C-alpha cells in the first residue's frame, strides 16, 4: 500500500508474522498509518486471497474511512465485498477503482461506464495467461510439469501456480465481471470450475492437429434473475478469435442488449500493463474528484 502524497509505503511483508512476533494489521492500525502518511490515495496490491479477500478488504475499507481514494489490483475485494466497498466510497465521496483486476490495465470496467443503459447479457473469453502459456508449450510436446517449469522460469507462472492451474484465478475474474458489470453478486462456489491439470500433451497435440485447440474458457450467461457461469478447458476452432489467443494474450467477448457482440483482445502485455491500469485509475479518481 502506498500513499500518493508522501510516498510512505507498507509492504506485504509488514502485514504478517515473519518470525518477528508482529500481528496482522487491523483496521485501526491501517487507519493510523494512513493518518500519519496523510494519504490522499491508497494503492492496494496485496496477493489474492480466494477464501475471503483479506487483508485487502480491510486496507480498502480503512482508506475510504480515512477519506482517501482506494485503487486495487486485487480481485478478492471485488468478489467478496464489492457492494459494501462501493457504497462506502460513495458515502465518503471517494473513488473505489479496480481496473487492473481483469486483463491487466485494459479498460474493461471503465468501458461500461461509458455505455449508460447497456445491459450485459453474458460473456466468454480467455482470462488467465498462465494456463494459456502452459497449454501452448504442451502442444509442442512438453509434459505438464515441463511446461509449468518453463512458465515459471519465464516469470509468467508463480512458484505455487495452483490458483492458475486449477482455474481459481479465472473463476475469480469471472465472478468480478459478473458482480460489477452484470450487477449480480455470485459466490465462487456457484461457478462451475475445472482446471487444466488433467489435460495431457497427447490430447493437446491431437486437438491442435485437428484444428480445435484446447483453451481455458470463462463463460457467463444471464438466466432470469441469476447468472450461470463456468471455467473449463474447451476445444475452440483454431481460426476463431479465441483459437488465435496464445502466450500471455487475453480475450473477452461481451453480449449486450444493444451490441450483440463486443470483443476486446489484449496481445501479450508487458509487466507494465497492470501498473498502467492502476495509474489510469489514479488519473480517473483525481480528475473526477476535481470535477466534482
For the entire predicted model, the pTM comes to 0.89
* pLDDT averaged over every residue in the chain: 90
Which segments of the chain belong to CATH 3.30.360.10?
112-266
Stretch among 82-86, 93-97, 218-222, 271-275 having the lowest mean pLDDT: 271-275
215 close to 135: Cβ distance less than 8 angstroms: yes
Q: Find all residues with CB under 8 Å of 105, minimum gap 6, and list them.
A: 99, 269, 273, 274, 275, 276, 277, 278, 279, 280
CATH for 112-266, options being 3.40.50.300, 3.40.1160.10, 3.30.360.10, 3.30.465.10: 3.30.360.10
Say if domain 2-105+272-291 classifies as CATH 3.10.310.30. Answer: no
70 close to 60: Cβ distance less than 8 angstroms: yes
Active site residues: 173
Local structure of residue 105 (DSSP, 8 states): T
Distance (Å, whole) CA 202 – CA 235: 14
Distance (Å, whole) CA 103 – CA 232: 18
Q: Which residue has the higher pLDDT, 149 or 17?
A: 149
Local structure of residue 188 (DSSP, 8 states): G
pLDDT tens profile 32-62: 888 888 999 999 999 999 999 999 999 999 9
Q: If 0-12 CB within 10 Å is exposed, 13-18 middle and 19+ buried, where does residue 232 land?
A: middle
For residue 83, is pLDDT > 70?
A: yes
Q: Find all residues with CB under 8 Å of 153, minimum gap 6, and list them.
A: none
Distance (Å, whole) CA 13 – CA 98: 22
Q: Which pLDDT belongs to residue 270?
A: 80
pLDDT tens profile 215-274: 999 999 999 999 999 999 999 999 999 999 998 999 999 999 999 999 999 998 887 899
The pLDDT confidence band at residue 29, using thresholds 50, 70 and 90, is confident
> Dihedral through CA 63, CA 68, CA 72, CA 77, nearest 10?
40
- 77: nearest Cα among 96, 90, 91, 104: 96
Which segments of the chain belong to CATH 3.40.50.720?
2-105+272-291
* Backbone φ and ψ of 121, nearest 5°: -90, -25
Amino acid at each position: 500500500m502506498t500513499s500518493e502524497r508522501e510516498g510512505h509505503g507498507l509492504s506485504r511483508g509488514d502485514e504478517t508474522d515473519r518470525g518477528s512476533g508482529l500481528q496482522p494489521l487491523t483496521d485501526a492500525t491501517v487507519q493510523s498509518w494512513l493518518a500519519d502518511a496523510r494519504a490522499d490515495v491508497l494503492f492496494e496490491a496485496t496477493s489474492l486471497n480466494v477464501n475471503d479477500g483479506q487483508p485487502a478488504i480491510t486496507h480498502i475499507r480503512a482508506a475510504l474511512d480515512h477519506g482517501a481514494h482506494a485503487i486495487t489490483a486485487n480481485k478478492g475485494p471485488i468478489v467478496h465485498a464489492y457492494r459494501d466497498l462501493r457504497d462506502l466510497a460513495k458515502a465518503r465521496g471517494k473513488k473505489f477503482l479496480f481496473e487492473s483486476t481483469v486483463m491487466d490495465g485494459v479498460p474493461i470496467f471503465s468501458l461500461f461506464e461509458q455505455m449508460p443503459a447497456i445491459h450485459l447479457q453474458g460473456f466468454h473469453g480467455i482470462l488467465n495467461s498462465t494456463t494459456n502459456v502452459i497449454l501452448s508449450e504442451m502442444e509442442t510436446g512438453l509434459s505438464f510439469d515441463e511446461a509449468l517449469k518453463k512458465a515459471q522460469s519465464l516469470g509468467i507462472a508463480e512458484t505455487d501456480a495452483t490458483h492458475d492451474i486449477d482455474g481459481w484465478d479465472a473463476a475469480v475474474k469471472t465472478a468480478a465481471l459478473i458482480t460489477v458489470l452484470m450487477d449480480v453478486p455470485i459466490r465462487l462456489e456457484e461457478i462451475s470450475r475445472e482446471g487444466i491439470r488433467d489435460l495431457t500433451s497427447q490430447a493437446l497435440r491431437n486437438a491442435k492437429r485437428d484444428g480445435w485447440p484446447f483453451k481455458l474458457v470463462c463463460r457467463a450467461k444471464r438466466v432470469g434473475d441469476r447468472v450461470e457461469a463456468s471455467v473449463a478447458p474447451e476445444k475452440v476452432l483454431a481460426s476463431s478469435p479465441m483459437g488465435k489467443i496464445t502466450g500471455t494474450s487475453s480475450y473477452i467477448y461481451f453480449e449486450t442488449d444493444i451490441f450483440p457482440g463486443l470483443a476486446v483482445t489484449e496481445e501479450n502485455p508487458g509487466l507494465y500493463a497492470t501498473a498502467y491500469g492502476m495509474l489510469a485509475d489514479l488519473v480517473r479518481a483525481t480528475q473526477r474528484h476535481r470535477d466534482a
